[in-house]
Structure 1
Amino acid sequence: MLIVTHEMSFARAVASRILFLDKGSVVAIGTPGEIFGSTDARIRRFLETTTAATVPVSP
């Protein structure tokens, strides 16, 4: 099943794999742990602005 969402708490809870896109290009594919723990600057910026109040993001 494929689900498209910006609701990162939902994605983290239900996904076995997450594909992260930026401007139509694939930046990363990984487990929720790999994506939420990523050091990629684009992923970090997105997670910090979309999940600040709802999902803990690894430093």
Structure 2
Amino acid sequence: MDTERKAEDPSLVCTCNDLYVDDIAEAIAFGEEEYREIFAVHGLQPRCAECRCHVEQLVNEIA
């Protein structure tokens, strides 16, 4: 994870895949709540998984 990039843009959740809060919200609205499925909605796969806690936090807040 590129912590510098993430610090520069708080809406950036996954620096490996350039996945933003809006992308995750879109996947949740589509009905996904599982970490890997949220990525799959956008044709992506998790890489380092350092964003997992942030993704799960957003699921709890949004879903």
Task: Name whichever structure is richer in helix by fraction.
Answer: 2
